[in-house]
Amino acid sequence: MIPPDIAAVTDYEAHAQARMTEQAWAYIAGGSADEITVRWNQEAFARLKLQARALPDVRDVDTRVALFGQTLAHPILLAPTAYHKLAHPDGERATVLAAAALEAAMVVSTQASVSLEDVAAEARSAQSQAPLWFQLYLQADHGLSGALVRRAEAAGYRALVVTVDAPVSLRNREQRVGFTLPPGIEAVNLRGQPAPPAPGDARDALRHLLATAAGWPDIAWLRGFTKLPILVKGITNPEDAERAVAHGADGVIVSNHGGRVLDTVPATIDVLPAIADRVAGRVPLLLDGGVRRGTDIVKALALGASAVLIGRPYLHGLAVGGAVGVAHVLTILRTELEVAMVLTGRPTLAAIDRTVLWPEG
Protein backbone atom coordinates (compact mmCIF):
# COMPACT_ATOMS: atom_id res chain seq x y z
CA MET A 1 0.00 0.00 0.00
CA ILE A 2 2.84 2.38 0.83
CA PRO A 3 5.06 2.75 -2.26
CA PRO A 4 8.43 1.16 -1.48
CA ASP A 5 10.48 4.16 -2.61
CA ILE A 6 9.22 6.41 0.18
CA ALA A 7 11.83 7.33 2.78
CA ALA A 8 11.10 10.99 3.51
CA VAL A 9 7.79 12.78 3.83
CA THR A 10 8.46 14.80 0.68
CA ASP A 11 8.63 11.50 -1.23
CA TYR A 12 4.85 11.33 -0.81
CA GLU A 13 4.35 14.42 -2.91
CA ALA A 14 4.75 12.94 -6.38
CA HIS A 15 2.75 9.84 -5.45
CA ALA A 16 -0.05 12.03 -4.10
CA GLN A 17 -0.13 14.16 -7.22
CA ALA A 18 -0.38 11.04 -9.39
CA ARG A 19 -3.45 9.89 -7.44
CA MET A 20 -5.34 13.16 -7.34
CA THR A 21 -7.32 15.10 -9.91
CA GLU A 22 -5.56 18.13 -11.34
CA GLN A 23 -8.06 20.34 -9.53
CA ALA A 24 -7.68 18.76 -6.10
CA TRP A 25 -3.91 18.86 -6.49
CA ALA A 26 -4.01 22.56 -7.31
CA TYR A 27 -6.02 23.20 -4.14
CA ILE A 28 -3.72 21.25 -1.83
CA ALA A 29 -0.35 22.14 -3.33
CA GLY A 30 -1.04 25.73 -4.22
CA GLY A 31 -0.08 28.93 -2.51
CA SER A 32 -1.01 32.49 -3.23
CA ALA A 33 0.20 34.31 -6.35
CA ASP A 34 3.71 33.20 -7.34
CA GLU A 35 4.01 30.82 -4.35
CA ILE A 36 7.20 32.53 -3.24
CA THR A 37 6.36 32.24 0.46
CA VAL A 38 5.56 28.55 -0.05
CA ARG A 39 9.13 28.06 -1.24
CA TRP A 40 10.67 30.34 1.39
CA ASN A 41 9.01 28.38 4.20
CA GLN A 42 11.11 25.35 3.29
CA GLU A 43 14.22 27.15 2.08
CA ALA A 44 14.55 29.10 5.32
CA PHE A 45 14.74 25.88 7.32
CA ALA A 46 17.41 24.57 4.96
CA ARG A 47 19.60 27.63 5.53
CA LEU A 48 19.84 27.10 9.30
CA LYS A 49 22.82 24.99 10.37
CA LEU A 50 22.81 22.52 13.23
CA GLN A 51 25.58 21.85 15.72
CA ALA A 52 26.35 18.12 15.99
CA ARG A 53 27.71 16.61 19.20
CA ALA A 54 30.30 13.86 18.99
CA LEU A 55 29.75 10.79 21.14
CA PRO A 56 26.58 12.27 22.61
CA ASP A 57 25.78 10.99 26.09
CA VAL A 58 22.15 10.34 25.26
CA ARG A 59 20.72 7.00 26.41
CA ASP A 60 17.10 7.82 25.71
CA VAL A 61 15.12 10.58 24.07
CA ASP A 62 11.91 11.96 25.49
CA THR A 63 9.73 13.82 22.99
CA ARG A 64 6.87 14.62 25.37
CA VAL A 65 5.65 18.17 25.67
CA ALA A 66 3.11 19.68 28.08
CA LEU A 67 0.77 22.24 26.54
CA PHE A 68 -2.35 23.81 28.05
CA GLY A 69 -2.55 21.15 30.73
CA GLN A 70 -2.31 18.37 28.14
CA THR A 71 0.68 16.10 27.68
CA LEU A 72 1.44 15.36 24.06
CA ALA A 73 3.59 12.33 23.23
CA HIS A 74 5.53 14.41 20.72
CA PRO A 75 5.49 17.96 19.35
CA ILE A 76 4.12 17.17 15.87
CA LEU A 77 0.50 18.23 15.40
CA LEU A 78 -1.78 17.93 12.39
CA ALA A 79 -2.58 21.45 11.21
CA PRO A 80 -6.18 22.30 10.37
CA THR A 81 -6.77 21.75 6.67
CA ALA A 82 -10.09 21.90 4.86
CA TYR A 83 -11.83 19.13 2.91
CA HIS A 84 -9.78 15.97 3.56
CA LYS A 85 -12.18 14.12 1.25
CA LEU A 86 -10.39 15.81 -1.63
CA ALA A 87 -7.42 13.62 -0.74
CA HIS A 88 -9.21 10.43 0.31
CA PRO A 89 -12.85 9.26 0.35
CA ASP A 90 -12.73 8.61 4.12
CA GLY A 91 -11.55 12.19 4.64
CA GLU A 92 -11.01 13.32 8.25
CA ARG A 93 -12.14 9.90 9.54
CA ALA A 94 -8.94 8.39 8.13
CA THR A 95 -6.80 11.28 9.39
CA VAL A 96 -8.04 10.98 12.95
CA LEU A 97 -7.38 7.25 13.03
CA ALA A 98 -3.74 7.96 12.18
CA ALA A 99 -3.59 10.71 14.78
CA ALA A 100 -4.91 8.24 17.35
CA ALA A 101 -2.38 5.57 16.36
CA LEU A 102 0.58 7.95 16.50
CA GLU A 103 -0.71 9.96 19.49
CA ALA A 104 -0.66 13.16 17.46
CA ALA A 105 -2.89 16.07 18.42
CA MET A 106 -5.15 16.93 15.49
CA VAL A 107 -6.62 20.34 14.79
CA VAL A 108 -9.90 19.85 12.95
CA SER A 109 -10.81 22.57 10.46
CA THR A 110 -14.12 24.43 10.55
CA GLN A 111 -14.18 23.53 6.86
CA ALA A 112 -13.72 19.81 7.44
CA SER A 113 -15.60 17.51 5.09
CA VAL A 114 -16.69 15.27 8.02
CA SER A 115 -18.63 16.79 10.91
CA LEU A 116 -16.70 17.72 14.02
CA GLU A 117 -18.91 15.31 16.01
CA ASP A 118 -18.15 12.41 13.65
CA VAL A 119 -14.41 13.08 13.83
CA ALA A 120 -14.63 13.05 17.64
CA ALA A 121 -16.66 9.83 17.61
CA GLU A 122 -14.05 8.16 15.42
CA ALA A 123 -11.29 9.26 17.81
CA ARG A 124 -13.25 7.82 20.75
CA SER A 125 -13.81 4.51 18.98
CA ALA A 126 -10.07 4.32 18.32
CA GLN A 127 -9.51 5.02 22.04
CA SER A 128 -7.32 7.92 21.10
CA GLN A 129 -5.08 9.30 23.84
CA ALA A 130 -4.30 12.39 21.76
CA PRO A 131 -6.39 15.54 22.08
CA LEU A 132 -8.53 17.00 19.34
CA TRP A 133 -8.50 20.77 18.94
CA PHE A 134 -11.00 22.72 16.86
CA GLN A 135 -10.09 25.46 14.40
CA LEU A 136 -12.46 28.39 14.10
CA TYR A 137 -12.79 31.25 11.66
CA LEU A 138 -14.25 33.81 14.01
CA GLN A 139 -17.06 35.89 12.56
CA ALA A 140 -18.53 39.18 13.63
CA ASP A 141 -21.81 37.30 14.13
CA HIS A 142 -21.18 35.72 17.50
CA GLY A 143 -24.23 33.50 17.13
CA LEU A 144 -22.57 31.44 14.41
CA SER A 145 -19.17 31.25 16.08
CA GLY A 146 -20.69 30.61 19.49
CA ALA A 147 -22.77 27.71 18.19
CA LEU A 148 -19.67 26.07 16.71
CA VAL A 149 -17.74 26.56 19.94
CA ARG A 150 -20.52 24.94 21.99
CA ARG A 151 -20.60 21.99 19.58
CA ALA A 152 -16.82 21.57 19.86
CA GLU A 153 -17.00 21.73 23.67
CA ALA A 154 -19.81 19.17 23.75
CA ALA A 155 -17.89 16.83 21.45
CA GLY A 156 -14.84 16.88 23.73
CA TYR A 157 -12.45 19.17 21.85
CA ARG A 158 -9.74 20.40 24.20
CA ALA A 159 -8.64 23.72 22.65
CA LEU A 160 -9.75 26.28 20.08
CA VAL A 161 -7.47 27.47 17.31
CA VAL A 162 -8.71 30.80 15.98
CA THR A 163 -7.31 31.47 12.54
CA VAL A 164 -6.76 35.19 12.08
CA ASP A 165 -5.02 35.36 8.72
CA ALA A 166 -7.79 36.08 6.29
CA PRO A 167 -9.13 33.09 4.38
CA VAL A 168 -9.03 35.12 1.20
CA SER A 169 -6.25 34.95 -1.28
CA LEU A 170 -5.52 34.90 -4.94
CA ARG A 171 -4.38 31.38 -5.56
CA ASN A 172 -3.57 31.53 -9.23
CA ARG A 173 -2.85 27.82 -9.45
CA GLU A 174 -6.49 27.13 -8.48
CA GLN A 175 -7.78 29.83 -10.80
CA ARG A 176 -5.88 28.40 -13.77
CA VAL A 177 -7.56 25.00 -13.43
CA GLY A 178 -10.92 26.49 -12.44
CA PHE A 179 -10.99 24.75 -9.08
CA THR A 180 -14.41 24.06 -7.58
CA LEU A 181 -15.38 21.55 -4.92
CA PRO A 182 -16.58 18.31 -6.48
CA PRO A 183 -20.13 17.15 -5.70
CA GLY A 184 -20.39 15.42 -2.32
CA ILE A 185 -17.63 17.40 -0.66
CA GLU A 186 -18.68 20.34 1.48
CA ALA A 187 -17.98 22.16 4.73
CA VAL A 188 -20.50 20.05 6.66
CA ASN A 189 -19.95 21.87 9.97
CA LEU A 190 -21.38 24.99 8.36
CA ARG A 191 -24.55 23.36 6.97
CA GLY A 192 -27.48 25.67 7.42
CA GLN A 193 -25.25 28.71 7.59
CA PRO A 194 -24.66 31.06 4.69
CA ALA A 195 -22.28 29.13 2.45
CA PRO A 196 -18.65 30.19 2.63
CA PRO A 197 -17.37 31.29 -0.75
CA ALA A 198 -16.09 28.49 -2.90
CA PRO A 199 -12.30 28.17 -2.85
CA GLY A 200 -10.78 29.99 -5.75
CA ASP A 201 -13.51 32.61 -5.97
CA ALA A 202 -11.41 35.46 -4.65
CA ARG A 203 -13.74 38.41 -5.29
CA ASP A 204 -16.66 36.68 -3.58
CA ALA A 205 -14.33 35.63 -0.79
CA LEU A 206 -13.21 39.20 -0.31
CA ARG A 207 -16.78 40.52 -0.20
CA HIS A 208 -17.75 37.74 2.23
CA LEU A 209 -14.72 38.48 4.36
CA LEU A 210 -15.36 42.18 4.58
CA ALA A 211 -19.02 41.61 5.40
CA THR A 212 -18.35 39.09 8.16
CA ALA A 213 -14.87 40.03 9.36
CA ALA A 214 -14.00 39.67 13.01
CA GLY A 215 -11.64 41.97 14.86
CA TRP A 216 -9.49 41.81 17.97
CA PRO A 217 -12.44 42.57 20.28
CA ASP A 218 -13.98 39.32 19.06
CA ILE A 219 -11.00 37.42 20.50
CA ALA A 220 -11.68 39.05 23.84
CA TRP A 221 -15.36 38.09 23.47
CA LEU A 222 -14.39 34.48 22.82
CA ARG A 223 -12.13 34.52 25.87
CA GLY A 224 -15.17 35.31 27.99
CA PHE A 225 -17.39 32.83 26.16
CA THR A 226 -15.42 29.60 26.63
CA LYS A 227 -13.13 28.01 29.16
CA LEU A 228 -11.18 26.15 26.47
CA PRO A 229 -7.62 27.31 25.82
CA ILE A 230 -7.53 29.68 22.84
CA LEU A 231 -4.66 29.68 20.36
CA VAL A 232 -4.44 32.46 17.78
CA LYS A 233 -3.16 31.10 14.46
CA GLY A 234 -1.73 33.14 11.61
CA ILE A 235 0.65 35.49 13.37
CA THR A 236 3.75 36.63 11.46
CA ASN A 237 4.88 39.72 13.35
CA PRO A 238 5.68 40.63 16.97
CA GLU A 239 3.03 43.39 17.21
CA ASP A 240 0.22 41.00 16.35
CA ALA A 241 1.62 38.42 18.78
CA GLU A 242 1.52 41.09 21.47
CA ARG A 243 -2.09 41.93 20.63
CA ALA A 244 -3.07 38.26 20.71
CA VAL A 245 -1.63 37.91 24.21
CA ALA A 246 -3.23 41.18 25.31
CA HIS A 247 -6.63 39.95 24.11
CA GLY A 248 -6.42 36.77 26.15
CA ALA A 249 -4.84 34.18 23.86
CA ASP A 250 -3.36 31.19 25.70
CA GLY A 251 -1.06 30.39 22.79
CA VAL A 252 0.09 31.76 19.45
CA ILE A 253 0.64 29.82 16.25
CA VAL A 254 3.25 31.49 14.08
CA SER A 255 1.87 30.72 10.64
CA ASN A 256 1.52 32.22 7.19
CA HIS A 257 -1.11 29.63 6.25
CA GLY A 258 1.50 27.62 4.37
CA GLY A 259 2.04 30.53 1.97
CA ARG A 260 -1.62 30.47 0.94
CA VAL A 261 -2.71 33.98 1.91
CA LEU A 262 -0.28 36.84 1.23
CA ASP A 263 2.61 36.02 -1.04
CA THR A 264 6.12 37.27 -0.16
CA VAL A 265 5.50 37.44 3.58
CA PRO A 266 8.60 35.91 5.17
CA ALA A 267 9.08 32.29 6.09
CA THR A 268 7.64 31.49 9.50
CA ILE A 269 10.97 30.21 10.86
CA ASP A 270 12.53 33.57 9.93
CA VAL A 271 10.00 35.57 11.96
CA LEU A 272 9.87 33.19 14.93
CA PRO A 273 12.87 34.61 16.87
CA ALA A 274 11.50 38.17 16.94
CA ILE A 275 8.08 36.90 18.01
CA ALA A 276 9.62 34.69 20.70
CA ASP A 277 11.61 37.66 22.01
CA ARG A 278 8.49 39.81 22.19
CA VAL A 279 6.23 37.19 23.79
CA ALA A 280 9.03 36.30 26.21
CA GLY A 281 7.51 33.06 27.43
CA ARG A 282 4.15 34.53 28.48
CA VAL A 283 2.32 31.96 26.31
CA PRO A 284 3.56 28.98 24.30
CA LEU A 285 4.36 29.49 20.64
CA LEU A 286 3.69 26.89 17.96
CA LEU A 287 4.83 27.15 14.36
CA ASP A 288 3.80 25.78 11.00
CA GLY A 289 4.85 26.26 7.38
CA GLY A 290 7.42 24.21 5.54
CA VAL A 291 8.14 21.63 8.25
CA ARG A 292 9.32 18.61 6.27
CA ARG A 293 12.12 17.08 8.38
CA GLY A 294 12.84 16.13 11.97
CA THR A 295 15.71 18.58 11.81
CA ASP A 296 13.20 21.34 10.93
CA ILE A 297 11.38 20.55 14.17
CA VAL A 298 14.63 20.84 16.16
CA LYS A 299 15.25 24.23 14.52
CA ALA A 300 11.75 25.49 15.32
CA LEU A 301 12.10 24.41 18.94
CA ALA A 302 15.57 26.00 19.11
CA LEU A 303 14.13 29.35 18.05
CA GLY A 304 11.26 29.38 20.50
CA ALA A 305 8.44 27.06 19.41
CA SER A 306 7.05 24.46 21.81
CA ALA A 307 5.64 22.35 18.99
CA VAL A 308 5.06 22.39 15.23
CA LEU A 309 2.16 21.57 12.94
CA ILE A 310 2.28 20.00 9.52
CA GLY A 311 -0.22 20.61 6.71
CA ARG A 312 0.51 19.42 3.19
CA PRO A 313 2.76 16.47 4.15
CA TYR A 314 -0.02 14.57 5.89
CA LEU A 315 -2.51 15.40 3.12
CA HIS A 316 -0.05 13.78 0.72
CA GLY A 317 0.12 10.72 2.97
CA LEU A 318 -3.69 10.69 3.15
CA ALA A 319 -4.01 10.77 -0.63
CA VAL A 320 -1.58 7.89 -1.07
CA GLY A 321 -2.48 5.56 1.78
CA GLY A 322 -5.42 6.88 3.80
CA ALA A 323 -4.91 6.45 7.55
CA VAL A 324 -1.82 4.31 6.94
CA GLY A 325 -0.24 7.04 4.84
CA VAL A 326 -0.85 9.74 7.45
CA ALA A 327 0.49 7.45 10.17
CA HIS A 328 3.59 6.79 8.08
CA VAL A 329 4.23 10.51 7.59
CA LEU A 330 3.99 11.04 11.36
CA THR A 331 6.26 8.05 12.01
CA ILE A 332 8.92 9.32 9.61
CA LEU A 333 8.96 12.78 11.18
CA ARG A 334 8.96 11.49 14.73
CA THR A 335 11.82 9.10 13.99
CA GLU A 336 13.80 11.86 12.28
CA LEU A 337 13.20 14.11 15.28
CA GLU A 338 14.49 11.46 17.68
CA VAL A 339 17.59 10.83 15.56
CA ALA A 340 18.28 14.57 15.35
CA MET A 341 17.89 14.89 19.14
CA VAL A 342 20.48 12.15 19.67
CA LEU A 343 22.96 13.60 17.18
CA THR A 344 22.68 17.07 18.67
CA GLY A 345 22.98 15.70 22.20
CA ARG A 346 19.52 16.80 23.37
CA PRO A 347 17.66 14.08 25.29
CA THR A 348 14.54 16.19 25.90
CA LEU A 349 12.72 18.92 24.02
CA ALA A 350 13.48 21.31 26.87
CA ALA A 351 17.20 20.78 26.18
CA ILE A 352 16.80 22.16 22.65
CA ASP A 353 17.76 25.83 22.72
CA ARG A 354 19.49 28.31 20.42
CA THR A 355 22.88 26.70 21.07
CA VAL A 356 21.78 23.80 18.86
CA LEU A 357 22.22 26.18 15.89
CA TRP A 358 25.40 27.67 14.49
CA PRO A 359 25.30 31.44 14.75
CA GLU A 360 24.11 32.82 11.40
CA GLY A 361 26.48 34.60 9.12
Among 291, 305, 307, 349, binds ligand FMN (CB under 6 A): 291
- Rounded Cα distance, 100 and 286, in Å: 21
* Cβ atoms 226, 149 nearer than 8 A: yes
H-run or E-run covering 172: helix 172-177
DSSP-based three-state secondary structure for 331: helix
Residues 249-268 that bind ligand FMN (CB under 6 A): 255, 257-258, 260
Query: Shortest approach of ligand FMN to residue 58 CB, angstroms?
Result: 28
H-run or E-run covering 94: helix 92-101
Q: Which is nearer to ligand FMN, 148 or 346 (CB)?
A: 148
Q: Which is nearer to ligand FMN, 122 or 288 (CB)?
A: 288
Query: Shortest approach of ligand FMN to residue 32 CB, angstroms?
Result: 11
Q: Which is nearer to ligand FMN, 289 or 304 (CB)?
A: 289
Residue 231 lies near ligand FMN (rule: CB under 6 A)? no
Residue positions counted in the chain: 361
Strands (E), the chain: 65-67, 70-72, 76-78, 106-108, 132-136, 160-163, 230-235, 251-254, 285-288, 307-310
Residue 84 lies near ligand FMN (rule: CB under 6 A)? no
Residue closest to ligand FMN, measured at CB: 311
Residue 79 lies near ligand FMN (rule: CB under 6 A)? yes
Query: Shortest approach of ligand FMN to residue 27 CB, angstroms?
Result: 6
Stretch that binds ligand FMN, among 141-149, 206-214, 285-293, 351-359 (CB under 6 A): 285-293
Stretch that binds ligand FMN, among 56-64, 120-128, 271-279, 282-290 (CB under 6 A): 282-290
Contacts of 227 (CB under 8 A, 6+ apart): none
Query: Shortest approach of ligand FMN to residue 51 CB, angstroms?
Result: 25
| 74 catalytically annotated | no
In 10 A of CB 30, how many CB atoms?
A: 25
Query: Shortest approach of ligand FMN to residue 350 CB, angstroms?
Result: 24
Query: Shortest approach of ligand FMN to residue 82 CB, angstroms?
Result: 4
- Rounded Cα distance, 361 and 358, in Å: 9
Residue 328 lies near ligand FMN (rule: CB under 6 A)? no
Q: Which is nearer to ligand FMN, 135 or 139 (CB)?
A: 135
Residue 109 lies near ligand FMN (rule: CB under 6 A)? yes
Closest CA to 148 of 167, 130, 163, 170: 163
H-run or E-run covering 118: helix 116-125
Query: Shortest approach of ligand FMN to residue 268 CB, angstroms?
Result: 8
Q: Which is nearer to ligand FMN, 110 or 346 (CB)?
A: 110
Residue 82 lies near ligand FMN (rule: CB under 6 A)? yes
What CA–CA distances, in Å, run from 75 to 170, 173, 310?
32, 32, 11
Pairing of strands 65-67, 132-136: unpaired
Three-class SS string for 210-248?
HHHCCCHHHHHHHHHHCCCCEEEEEECCHHHHHHHHHCC
**Which one from 74, 257, 316, 328 is the annotated catalytic residue?**
257
Burial class of residue 56 (count of CB atoms within 10 Å of its CB; 0-12, 13-18, 19+)? middle
The residues carrying an active-site annotation are 257
> Which residues contact ligand FMN by CB under 6 A?
27-28, 41, 79-82, 109, 111, 135, 163, 233, 255, 257-258, 260, 288-291, 310-312
